Structure 1
Amino acid sequence: MRSYRIAVIPGDGVGKEVIPAGQRVLEAAVAGRAKLDWQVFPWGSDYYRETGSMMPADGVEQLRQFDAIYLGAVGDPPRIPDHITLWGLILPIRKALDLYVNVRPVRLLPGVRGPLRDKGPADIDMIFIRENTEGEYAGVGGRVHVGTPHEVAIETAVFSRFNVERVVRYAFELARGRRKHLTSVTKSNAQRYGMTFWDDVVTAVARDYPDVTVTSLLVDAAAALLVRAPERFDVVVASNLFADILTDLGGAIMGSLGLAPSANLAAQPGVPSLFEPVHGSAPDIAGKGIANPIGTIWAGAMMLEHLGEREAAQRVLAALERLTAEGQVLTPDMGGSATTEQVAERVVALLT
């Protein structure tokens, strides 16, 4: 029987509730076929309050020993500023493990009533490919004259040809296997160096994919079209910041941010990729047992597929589709009254 070592970081808030729900479903999906060997790491805001760090100094090295990483959520506003939690855990992992691409599906599941009038599952079915290690989140900059009237803050976006090209090429490959349409999102009318560079790289890579139609959009136009005409999108590639923002809008048109999954994929074999829901720690509902686990379960299905357990992954996604289509066991964010555990229990029952 195949065995996989999975590092589990429940993190903060509702992460501690949705991760066990996801584990339960994944265990059921691979039962009799594979073994998931979980190891839980108590890293996050509680760990920060105890130690002054979000994870130990050798945390990334500990994670390298695993086949994959399953993350719940990170953040504890307003007690700990978000930049401390993000730069203390998620971004160091992404950068050190070179998790170069972030894959975020945006789909309207069967039976879900999204906020867009007259738009159904056939209209909202796209995948965002987000550059994941540099761009606007490169961390290059600083503050000088701190605390004086002359204080200055500088934040510099970094775009390297190597990194942009590999992310764009990943998006083209994905588009080739779907509907053969790629949308590249920039703001090159205003950002005349980094974003025009991004456009140039997309144009160069496109020559290797003559079968894929390419559309370039400014980020503001892309945001408007996601609402007005989501059917125009298939595969979307964008920088770290722009794809981060647009996929939250994507979660909204899916019907709930609690539905949205993501995968942070490693560039090199033998390095663990990281899988997580898009939603945050949701401190307003943490501890109530009503957090939506669908995004976490879906992210778990992406993890199973990445590990080679494709059949189990397809069964999990099919069970989620049946769950939303029947519309009986849903959490409050989707108009239901079910608990996190009840949703997980129903998904397990729907696995075939």
Structure 2
Amino acid sequence: MSTSYTVDVIAGDGIGPEVVPAAIACVDRLAELHGFAVDWRERDWGSEHHRRHGAMMPEDGLEQLRTGDAIFLGAVGAPDIPDHVTLWGLLIPIRRAFRQYVNLRPVKSLPGRPGPELDMLIVRENVEGEYSEIGGRYGQGTPDEAAIQEAVFTRRGIERVTRFAAERALERSGTIVSATKSNGIIHTMPFWDEVVAEVAADAGVRVDSVLIDALAARFVLAPASIDVVVASNLFGDILSDLGAAIAGSIGIAPSANLNPEREFPSLFEPVHGSAPDIAGRGVANPFAAIWSAAMMLEHLGETDAAAALERACFGALADGVATADLGGEATTAEFTQAVLGRLSDM
């Protein structure tokens, strides 16, 4: 009897409805080849839902998602709705309600692209840190207007994300690079450094603690020297986009929002955003969405299918099939067909 998974699909905004079907087609092909099944539950949530109902998702949206095995998200964001409304109305509530405290973002060299050899994992703390809700605005519209935003770092939060990073490092180089700014941020960053060092010592991995500005320069000048990075919410967000850009394009960056204990569904998404400037033209790069789907399959336990999908995605690029952001002329559909063709040949 084949295994069946229930996956909630939120195609979302912009190019999301273009790249998500590409990833679904690849997963469905692999399901046929590897003997499992996926029940896709389509959710028409996002900016259009906000325009109609004043909210990015229904009031019981989290309860609807809770019964699934995973969530697959395309993109969130629209020019006519402020970014903090779209993000805090959908993605961030999902991350926090389902304790998806690890945001895992791999960065690898792309076939046929110039540049250094890359193979790094960025482990971003995903539910606290600089992205807290604590704070407010004072004196709006007056000369004395002020905004206060509090960063929240808990021992538990730092420990668990560092432990996840250390486990990945033990499978690889045995070293984690910790992003910090303890010379300038006097309370939270020294606390981060202390807890990271404690967890790493207990796990038996080395720590290379690097100030964020120096680490950003190292990403550019010596990215091959970096293996597993552990970083706070803000630092991890910035570094992962920088890593993707160094590899060739933000359009190739995948991510997994993980609840490692598997008490709740995890969420998988490309991190290129909704890209409204190219939406509807059929030229969006589905690479990141397909790679994110491979990460989802790995999380679900379909490791052979996940490896096959990643090989096919990179293999299509090696064959010279590339979208415009990577210097090619392929459409979204053409790149997808190239990946599907390689899957059928495996």
Class of the TM-score when normalised by the shorter of the 2 chains: over 0.9
- 1:214 Cα deviation from its structure 2 partner: 1.4
Aligned to 1:169: 163
User: Any runs of at least 4 consecutive aligned residues in structure 1 with deviations exceeding 3 A, and if so which?
Assistant: none
Letter paired with 1:158: V
Aligned to 2:45: 43
Matches of 2:247 and 2:30, distance apart in 1: 24
| Equivalent residues, number | 342
Letter paired with 1:6: V
- 1:342 Cα deviation from its structure 2 partner: 1.1
Letter paired with 2:272: H
The reply to whether residue 248 of structure 1 matches residue 241 of structure 2 is yes
Aligned to 1:84: 85
Aligned to 1:203: 197
- What per-residue deviation string (whole Å, max 9, x for no partner) do you get for residues 249-282 of structure 1? 1110111111110000014324110000111000
The reply to whether residue 216 of structure 1 matches residue 209 of structure 2 is yes
- What per-residue deviation string (whole Å, max 9, x for no partner) do you get for residues 72-131 of structure 1? 000012x11101111111111101111010000011122233xx4xx2xxx311000000
Aligned to 1:342: 334
Matches of 2:223 and 2:135, distance apart in 1: 36
- 1:316 Cα deviation from its structure 2 partner: 0.4
- What per-residue deviation string (whole Å, max 9, x for no partner) do you get for residues 25-60 of structure 1? 111112141111001101111110011101111111
Cα pair 2:11 2:73 within 8 Å, conserved: yes
Matches of 2:156 and 2:125, distance apart in 1: 12
Residue 137 of structure 1 aligns to a residue whose secondary structure is coil
- What per-residue deviation string (whole Å, max 9, x for no partner) do you get for residues 321-351 of structure 1? 2111111x21111111111111111101011
Cα pair 1:112 1:324 within 8 Å, conserved: no
Unaligned runs of 5+ in 2: none
The within-5 A match list for 1:264-279 is 264-279=257-272
Matches of 1:82 and 1:321, distance apart in 2: 32
The within-5 A match list for 1:282-321 is 282-321=275-314
Letter paired with 2:123: I
Matches of 1:266 and 1:340, distance apart in 2: 31
The within-5 A match list for 1:15-34 is 15-32=16-33, 33-34=35-36
Residue 131 of structure 2 aligns to a residue whose secondary structure is strand
Letter paired with 2:276: P
Matches of 2:105 and 2:262, distance apart in 1: 21
Aligned to 1:12: 13
Q: What is the RMSD computed on CA atoms of the aligned residues? A: 1.0
Residue 150 of structure 2 aligns to a residue whose secondary structure is strand
Letter paired with 2:128: E
The reply to whether residue 128 of structure 1 matches residue 130 of structure 2 is no
Name which of structure 1's ranges 84-93 and 266-275 shifts more when overlaid on structure 2. 266-275
Cα pair 1:67 1:270 within 8 Å, conserved: no
Name which of structure 1's ranges 141-150 and 90-99 shifts more when overlaid on structure 2. 141-150
With the length of structure 1 as denominator, give the TM-score of the two structures.
0.95
Residue 71 of structure 1 aligns to a residue whose secondary structure is strand
Residue 142 of structure 2 aligns to a residue whose secondary structure is coil
With the length of structure 2 as denominator, give the TM-score of the two structures.
0.97
The within-5 A match list for 1:117-156 is 119=116, 123-156=117-150
The reply to whether residue 231 of structure 1 matches residue 224 of structure 2 is yes
Cα pair 1:10 1:71 within 8 Å, conserved: yes
Tell me the percent identity.
54
Letter paired with 1:47: H
Letter paired with 1:60: L
Letter paired with 1:102: N
- What per-residue deviation string (whole Å, max 9, x for no partner) do you get for residues 223-244 of structure 1? 0000100011000000000010
Letter paired with 2:73: L
Residue 77 of structure 2 aligns to a residue whose secondary structure is coil
Aligned to 1:332: 324
Residue 323 of structure 1 aligns to a residue whose secondary structure is helix
